[in-house]
C-alpha cells in the first residue's frame, strides 16, 4: 500500500514498490496526460512535478515518493488550462502531434518556478525534452511569452 498525493488528492493504492511513478499515474490513478516515451528518462514525455520540481517519472520508483509529497500532473497544472504556459501554448498554437507537449509544458513550468525570466541559454539547459515533430522554436517562444506575462517578444 502506498499513499500518494496527486493533484492535491490523496490516493491509497496497492502497488509493487518498484513500479515507476509514471505507470501508477497512468494505469492506477487513470491520468493519462503524462506520457510514456522511452522508459529511460531520455525524452521527458513523462515529466511531472514533485513538490514543484520537474521530474521524469518513468524511472522513479513509486516507493521513492513520500506520502506527503505533492505530485502534479498536466491535468493538475491548472483547473481550466489557465496556467500562463498553457495560455501561451494556445496563443502560439505550439503542438503538432502533441504527444510530447504535456511533458514539455510541465518541464517549462518547473523552469519558470525556479527562474521566472529564463534566457535562451537557461531554456536550452533545462528543456531537454524530445519533440520529433519539431516544435522547439515555438516551445521556446511560448516559454518566453509566458515569462513575459503574455506579451510576445522577439527571440533574442
Q: Which whole-number Å values give the CA distances from 8 to 74, 82, 153, in the listed order? A: 13, 17, 34
Query: CA 49 to CA 57: how far, in whole Å?
Result: 9
Interface with other proteins includes 154 (CB under 8 A)?
no
Interface with other proteins includes 5 (CB under 8 A)?
no
Residue 15 CB, nearest approach to other proteins (Å) = 9
In the region spanning residues 76 to 105, those forming contacts with other proteins, defined by CB under 8 A, are: 77-78, 81, 86, 89-90, 93-102, 105
Pick one of 54, 74, 145, 146: the residue that binds other proteins (CB under 8 A): 74
Count interface residues toward other proteins (CB under 8 A).
59
Give the binding range for other proteins (CB under 8 A) out of 49-57, 70-78, 111-119, 144-152.
70-78
Alpha helices in the chain (DSSP H): 21-23, 84-92, 101-114, 120-126, 136-147
The three-state secondary structure class of 30 is: coil
Angle at 91 between CA 90 and CA 95, to 5 degrees: 45
Residue 47 CB, nearest approach to other proteins (Å) = 12
Interface with other proteins includes 118 (CB under 8 A)?
no
Amino acid at each position: 500500500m502506498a499513499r500518494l498525493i496527486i493533484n492535491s488528492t490523496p490516493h491509497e493504492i496497492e502497488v509493487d514498490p518498484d513500479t515507476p511513478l509514471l505507470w501508477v499515474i497512468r494505469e492506477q490513478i487513470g491520468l493519462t496526460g503524462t506520457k510514456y516515451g522511452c522508459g529511460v528518462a531520455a525524452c521527458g514525455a513523462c515529466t511531472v512535478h514533485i513538490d514543484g520540481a520537474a521530474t521524469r517519472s518513468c524511472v522513479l520508483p513509486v516507493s521513492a515518493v513520500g506520502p506527503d509529497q505533492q505530485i502534479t500532473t498536466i491535468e493538475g497544472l491548472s483547473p481550466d488550462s489557465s496556467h500562463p504556459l498553457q495560455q501561451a501554448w494556445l496563443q502560439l498554437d505550439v503542438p503538432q502531434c502533441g504527444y510530447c507537449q504535456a511533458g514539455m509544458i510541465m518541464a517549462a513550468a518547473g523552469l519558470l518556478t525556479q527562474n521566472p525570466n529564463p534566457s535562451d541559454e537557461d531554456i536550452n539547459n533545462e528543456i531537454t525534452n524530445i519533440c520529433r515533430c519539431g516544435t522547439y522554436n515555438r516551445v521556446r517562444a511560448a516559454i518566453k511569452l509566458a515569462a513575459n506575462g503574455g506579451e510576445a517578444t522577439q527571440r533574442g
